[in-house]
Each structure stands twice: as structure tokens, then as C-alpha cells.
Amino acid sequence: MKTHLHALVTQALRQLHQEGLLPAIDTLVIPLERTRDRAHGDFASSIALSLARTARCKPRDLAERIRAALPASTHLARVEIAGPGFINFFLAPAAYHALVGEILAQGDAFGRSTIGAGQRVQVEFVSANPTGPLHVGHGRGAAFGATVANLLEAIGCQVQREYYVNDAGRQMNILAASVWLRYLEHCGERLPFPRNGYRGDYVRDIAKRLYAEHGGAYVAAAAEVMRNLPADEVRDASGERVIAGDKEAHIDALIERTRALLGEPRYRYIFELGLNTILDDIRDDLAEFGVRYQEWYSERGLAEQGAVNRVVNRLRDAGYVYEQDGALWFRSSAFGDEKDRVVQRENGQTTYFASDIAYHLEKFERGFERVIDVWGADHHGYVPRVKAALQALGADPTRLDVLLVQFAILYRNGERAQMSTRSGEFVTLRELRQEVGNDAARFFYVLRKSEQHLDFDLDLAKSQSKDNPVYYIQYAHARVCSVLRQCHDKGITYDRARGQAHLGLLVEPHEDALLVALARYAETVETAALNHEPHLLAHYLRDLANAFHTYYNEHRVLVDDPALRDARLSLSLATRQVIRNGLGLLGVSAPESM
């Protein structure tokens, strides 16, 4: 409907241009919004106020001339001028009736468009370090990123979903050392576990697997492992008070001791065992959550190809890298960052930041017009430095959109659950899905703006009530399916053509409200996609379900009059189709019975 009105206004403006009143309007943006109060029409435009100075006439006079130039349309009941020059459009019932036919004819394709056709977009999301299972915080990024990708595809974009695997660097070495220490414990060696090692039971499971497959082949004496390492923590003479040492120096020295005692081949085996075990678990977890990727991109592969060193050298050749205290620094402050950033440490190792620069440059070299990263909100300070590096390398930083997601806070029995990959005291995404189901998890995760905190109420997510939005929406879909089963049981045959021909019988206020709600779907999908705001679709579906339930509770669908019955069935089936389409974009199922 909005597209139709836009075309009418465009034709009117072109006519006024031909009359010499207005300049060419080929690039003109025509504001056209739904009114908050239908007493003022279905849509309103402020275009006359925008063009009044150019037309050298009062806005209200220009609005009148635009109205007079509008082509005739069966979709319009009337057009009124309000206030200083707003143009209010009142749609005819035929416009809404035609929409029902469009929904039923287009089916699963209804609501999709081509406004993004031809644009290659990459959406990179989750990308959690493969050092432990995904927790409920990662789940929000997964649901949000997957839905953003779905919405972009719905408006015609060519979307690639990517997971960046941080399979290189210090954290992976800490994981390998953690696995080996747990393996030694399993073999009977008594030795302290580092404060900043990975402590979850999953590490013990990997260690047990190593023992099951190789027995004691990887054993070393505890005394040899711990000899002369910097102190992590020690107890005083009373045995109670802990005196903390330098935990970072301790873990780094422990990693080097691990590599030395095992030798590089055996160390790499443990490294790969930990990485692949956890990464396989992440893949399976996300796939079960309905999240799939076209690419799992390896950070290590990037480094092995020399891409990281090349990008550091390019920045240095361009004069944006300098040496200080043995390290190499990128002049990110020259591009608005709060300070310069290290790209290569004193020991010659490149930083995560250097890898990220190379990775993002490589994304653009793959031909993506737009790149969307979904990051945790705690990475907000990282955005300007990445964009600064891209600008220094000659890339357009505006082509990179970083969407920040606050971690969800899970409440169980009124208590907040702790989520720490290091300590192992976390609630996994898999545990959440098993408790509330994929549908509730996917829906609740996108119910608020991504940058807002989300308190995940388990009791609400599991409840079968109107207060649970996903249950309420799915129940509306199931109710329509139930009506169809009633038709079958009663021997009633639905005649779609007859229903379409008699939609004019839908004159009840609740039917009008439901028709208006259906008309908002395509606009909502477009807005949610362009603004990367899945919560708009979630709230729309809740409103649509409410409109249907209200209508269904007040009016019988299977009335005796065949014409009215088929008209109401058509309206109900159109509602079911829109709910199914919307839930599909959110990654939520549309059950036929509940």
C-alpha cells in the first residue's frame, strides 16, 4: 500500500514539474508514514512542507495542488489537507481487501521485496573464542545476527553468514595448557591449577578423552612441570591466607614449559584436540539452534597466509606505524581514536588487533559492498580503531557496520546465574535451549533492541499464557489451523474465490483492525531490515496475534452464510500466512496445534 501511494505522489509531482512549478524529482525522497491516529488517515506526507520554498508558494497551497494532481485510484477513499500542509491519505476498504488476495497468492514470499537486490552483504556474528561452550550471552548474539541476516535476505540482499574462528593466540595456548594439566591430574599427578586457566568440566572431559585415546603417553612429572615457574599464588604459614603472585607471568611461563616438555608435535596435538572438540560443539549447538554459516573463517589461516604481516607493513609504509619500546604502534589517534594501538609486541608477535585489521580488509577484498559485525557491547571501544585502520589502508570505513549486543542476563528462580568461561560457572546455550526450547530462546533474545540489557525470564519463557509473547503468537497460528480442522470435521469446503469476492462483508471493527495490522507487515520487515532491528518484527507479530485473538474471541468464523464464512476464512488464512512468514524470519516455528 505504501508503495502504491508513493507511486501516486511521484506521478503528481512529475505533473507539477511538467507545469513548471517544481524542479525534477528523480532523486527526491518522499516522506510517507502511517498515522498514529486513523482519524487523520492511514498515511500522511509532509512533502508539501519540504518543497514549498522551491515552489515559492505556501505549503498548504502546494499540498492542494499535489492533491489535485494525484491520479485516480480505487485504493484511495479520499485525501485531506491538514494543518500547515500535511497530506492525509484515507485508504478505501478495497485496498485492504486486495491485500488479503496478495497474501494468499504470494504465500511464503509475501512481505519480501527487492530493495536490496544486487547488494552483497556479509554478516559476521557470534565468533566466540573456541575456548569453551557457548553460554547464554553468546545465544543473544546468535539469535540477533541470524535474524538480521534473514531480514536482509528478505529485502533482496545477497547475504553471507560468517563465523570468525579465533584459533590462534594466547587464549588458545591457555586452553591447551589447561587440558594438559587436567590430563596430568587424571593420571595421578598432583599439581596446582592456575588461577586464569580454563576450569570448566568440559576441559576435564577433553583431558579424559586424551587419556582414553593415548593412555599415559603425554605424562610428565608434576615437579618438572612446576619447577622455577613464577608464583601464581601461595599460602602463608597458617595455610589460610593466599598471597597472589603474577598470574599472567605464571600462565605464560606454564605454556612455554608445556611446549618444551611435550615437544611441538605433541603440544600441537593437544592444542588441536582442544580446539576441534570445542569448535565441533559450537557448530552443533548453533546448528541445533537454527543458526548456520556459509563460512567458518580461521584467524590462524589468515596469519599463515602472511596477511597479518602484510597489513602491518602496508601501514608502516604509509607512515601510520611507528616503533616505541620495542613494539610497533598504529597511529589510530590520527583518525579519532583515543590513543594509538599496538600491532606488534616486543617479542615480535602480532596482536589480535593486527589480525582484525587484516581480516576486515580481506572482507572487502572478497567483494562485499557492506560488512556487518555483531559484537558484544563490551567491545564498543574497539570500533573506532578498526575503522581507523581501514581508513588508513584506503578502505571506506562507512561500509563497515558494527552492531553491539548486550549480553543477556539469565534469571532462574529469581536468582541471577553467573556466566564465566574461565571459572566454568556458566549456563550454556544448550542448557537454556533444553529448558525453554529453541523457539522461546530465539524470540526472547530479539524482543528488545540489541544494545539494551535483556533480563531473560525463564518462568515467563516456559509459561503457556498470553503474557508469553512467543506462545501467544504461535497460538494464533495454531488457532487458524484448528479452524481448518473444524471445517474438515464438519464437511465444510472453503472456496477461496468466493471468499475473495465477498471480502466487502468484513465490516466489523475487529475485522478492520486485523486488516490494518496485516497491511503493516511488509513495511515492518523493510524497516527492521534497513535499521537492523529485529525487535520491530517481534513486537509487530505480538500486535498481530492480539488483533487476531481479539477478533476470534468476538466473532465466529464458521458462520452459516457461505459468503461471509469464506471471507472470514480468507482473512484468517491471510493472518496465519503472515504469522508464519514473520516467525520464519525470526527462526521460530509455527506449530499447527498447541
pLDDT tens for 67-87 read 999 999 999 999 999 999 999
Q: Please tell me the distance from the alpha carbon of residue 156 to that of residue 226, in angstroms, as a whole number.
A: 59
Q: What is the CATH number of domain 97-116+465-586?
A: 1.10.730.10
- Percent of the chain at pLDDT > 90 equals 82
| pLDDT tens-digit map of 248-258 | 999 999 999 99
Q: Is 22 a residue whose pLDDT tops 90?
A: no
Using only the alpha carbons of the chain, give its radius of gyration: 30
For position 236, what pLDDT does the model report? Answer: 64
Q: What is the mean pLDDT of residues 21-39?
A: 83
Q: Is the pLDDT of residue 118 over 80?
A: yes
Q: What is the mean pLDDT of residues 528-548?
A: 98
User: Rounded to an integer, what distance in angstroms lies between the CA atom of residue 86 and that of residue 52?
Assistant: 12
User: CA 5: distance to chain centroid?
Assistant: 31
Given a cut of 80, whether residue 162 has pLDDT beyond it is yes
CB 529 within 8 A of CB 154: yes
Query: Is residue 422's pLDDT more than 80?
Result: no
Query: Which is more confident, 28 or 14?
Result: 14
Residue 419 has pLDDT above 70, yes or no: no
pLDDT at 237 over 70: no
The three-class DSSP label of residue 559 is coil
Q: Considering only residues 419 and 89, tell me which one the structure prediction assigns the higher pLDDT.
A: 89
Nearest to 109 by CA among 152, 154, 146, 160: 154
Tell me, what's the pLDDT at 477? Answer: 98
According to the model, what pLDDT value does residue 239 have?
Answer: 60
Beta strands (DSSP E) in 125-252 are 158-165, 233-235, 242-244
Residue 156 CA, distance from chain mean position: 17
Q: Is it the case that residue 559 has pLDDT exceeding 90? A: yes
Phi/psi zone of residue 56: left (φ > 0), alpha (ψ -120 to 50 degrees), beta?
left
Query: Across the beta sheet with 86-91, what order do the strands follow?
Result: 33-34, 43-45, 86-91, 76-82
CA distance 502 to 97: 9
Contact (CB, 8 A) for 579 and 108: no
pLDDT for position 272: 97
| pTM score of the predicted model | 0.92
- Mean pLDDT in residue range 294-303: 94
Per 3-state DSSP, the chain is made up of helix, strand and coil in percentages (nearest 5) of 55, 15, 30
The Cα 332–Cα 314 span in angstroms is 14
- What was the pLDDT predicted at 3? 86
CA pair distance 441, 144, nearest whole angstrom = 11
Spell 337-375 as b/e; 16+ CB within 10 A means b: beebbbbbeeeeebbebbbbbbbbbebbeeebebbbbbb
Mean pLDDT value across the chain: 93
Q: With pLDDT > 70 as the criterion, what percentage of the chain qualifies?
A: 96
| DSSP reduced 3-state for 418 | coil
Nine cell digits for residue 344: 606488534
- Residue 575's pLDDT is 98
pLDDT band at 26 (very low <50, low <70, confident <90, very high): low
CATH 3.90.1150.10 for domain 2-91, yes or no, is no
Q: Which amino acid is at 589?
A: S
pLDDT, average across residues 536-565: 97
Domain residue limits, the chain:
2-91, 97-116+465-586, 170-279
Query: What local confidence, expressed as pLDDT, does residue 427 receive?
Result: 83
Q: What is the pLDDT of residues 439-462, one digit of tens each?
A: 999 999 999 999 999 999 999 999
pLDDT digits (tens, 9 = 90+) for 371-416: 999 999 988 889 999 999 999 999 999 999 999 999 888 887 888 8
pLDDT, position 309 = 94
Summarize pLDDT for 337-360 with one digit per residue, the tens. Answer: 889 999 999 988 899 999 999 999
For the cut 70, the answer to whether the pLDDT of residue 417 exceeds it is: no
Dist CA 8 CA 24 (whole Å): 16
Q: What pLDDT score was predicted for residue 221?
A: 92
Mean pLDDT score, 270-289:
98
Is the pLDDT score of 212 beyond 90? yes
Q: Which of 176-185, 243-252, 377-386 has the lowest mean pLDDT?
A: 243-252
Name the pLDDT band for 424 (thresholds 50, 70, 90): low
Q: Which residues pair with 45 in a beta bridge?
A: 87
CA distances from 33 to 15, 43, 99, 414, 526 (A): 22, 5, 18, 42, 13
Return the higher-pLDDT residue of 55 and 510. Answer: 510
Query: Does the pLDDT at position 163 exceed 90?
Result: yes
Give pairs for 552-560: CB < 8 Å, separation 24+: 552/479, 554/508, 554/510, 555/508, 555/510, 555/511, 557/483, 558/483, 558/486, 558/487, 558/490, 558/492
Higher pLDDT among residues 541 and 415, named by residue = 541
Spatial CB neighbours of 257, under 8 Å, sequence gap ≥ 6:
225, 227, 229
Q: Provide the pLDDT for residue 56.
A: 87
